[in-house]
Amino acid sequence: MDPDRPIERSDTGTPGPVTPPAVAPRPASRERLVAEPASRPNPPRRPSRTWWHIGAVIVAGSAVVAFFVWRAQPQQPATGIAQIQLSLPAAGPERADGPWVRLDAAPLRTGANRFAVAWLPSKGAAPSAEGVRQVTLALTPLAPTGEPVTAEAAAQGDGTFVAEGVNLPAAGWWRIATTLETDQLGAVTVPFDLVVPDPNINGTAAAPHPASQSDARALYQRGLAAMTGLHRVRFWQTMANGLGVVALSAHAVRDDSGGATPAFTYHAYGGLDAVVIGDEMWRRTPGTPWATAEAAPMIQPSAWGEEYAGATGFVLGGEATLGGERCRIIAFQTPDLTEPRTQVAAWYLWWIGETSGEVHREVMISRAHYMTNDFTDFDVPLTITPPAG
């Protein structure tokens, strides 16, 4: 891969309903999106260093499509992207059937930037300014820390609110918190965590490559040990391609400790439900009964650390409280590798509990890949049984 070239695509990537096989933009080979039948969920977490799934299943009209990103051999891309587009439920993942907030951002590098915020009455709907009285942005550097930036977005004729010339003075991870004053839900704040410069727009060479800090490295090692030592955990995952496609899924994972059969449950918003116990799987799509199938091998938490091979660039960030625990934020990255497996570079942000050492939240950005995992219920009792009926 040429590190000086931005990550690129060859088609429009227009947001909205998708139909197989064009689930999302498909550059030549390094980022091969593959339509899969909705009958086979992915094992919990990313199912190895090689396959990186985007969410799980997406409803496209009456078609349910699972799609994957293949982090593989180099490509010769065709057309560069100028901005990224992300969206999240306005009231959190548990309320994904309500309104959503969309953020368009460019060029996501130091200096002047443009942010467009839209209120979507439902996922994938057209923007609507009806009932939205004001939109403001609070931009806070997360790692490394620094001075925050604020901006007010002005209403446009197309239902969006735009803030032009917003100055980001430093590289690193930034939280773009969008606050909308709405008639429907009152004041709603939806945060988007992004790395500046963004590698998908500006190229991987432009993205941050800081020197490692020893205390941040030590904190990473503590968080990694806690993560790979888990026996049971739940997490919400948000996965997007940065071009308007997004998927939400809820996971519960149990390993084989104490003689248990490894198992997990999986629910994709608007899509697939699955229960996997050992090599047996039960799955259903909306409006269909449960069906059985053979399950793919489950990747247990003890193996999750393989994903971070070669991690470097450890930087301490700020502090926050998640799950009732005070957490310290750290940033790091993993490099391009060809051995023992091929992978492209990725940038990570972790919230690590000061007392427990658990990773409460993980944000990752890579090639056409914007992911957030929110972890809860660390090693609490978890019963997974075959579904009734």
SS3 state at 244: coil
Over range 273-289, report the average pLDDT: 95
For the chain, the first-to-last Cα distance in angstroms comes to 50
Could you read off the pLDDT of 90-121 as tens digits, one per residue?
999 989 999 999 999 999 999 999 999 999 99
* 100 alpha carbon, distance to own chain's centre: 16
**Are 131 and 183 spatial neighbours (Cβ–Cβ below 8 Å)?**
yes
Radius of gyration, alpha carbons of the chain: 20
pLDDT at 80: 60
pLDDT in tens, 39-57: 344 444 443 322 233 233 3
pTM of the model as a whole: 0.83
pLDDT digits (tens, 9 = 90+) for 236-258: 999 999 999 999 999 999 999 99
Give the burial class of 234: count Cβ atoms within 10 A of its Cβ; 0-12 exposed, 13-18 middle, 19 or more buried: middle
Residue 4, class by beta-carbon neighbours within 10 Å (0-12 exposed, 13-18 middle, 19+ buried)? Answer: exposed
- Tens digits of residue pLDDT in 313-363: 999 999 999 999 999 999 999 998 887 777 889 999 999 999 999 999 999
DSSP string across 169-203: -S-EEEEEEEEEEETTTEEEEEEEEEEES-HHHH-
CB 308 within 8 A of CB 45: no
Give the span between the Cα atoms of 331 and 348, in whole angstroms: 6
- 310 three-class SS: coil
* pLDDT, tens only, 131-182: 999 999 999 999 999 999 999 999 999 999 999 999 999 999 999 999 999 9
The rounded distance, in Å, linking the Cα atoms of 63 and 330 is 40
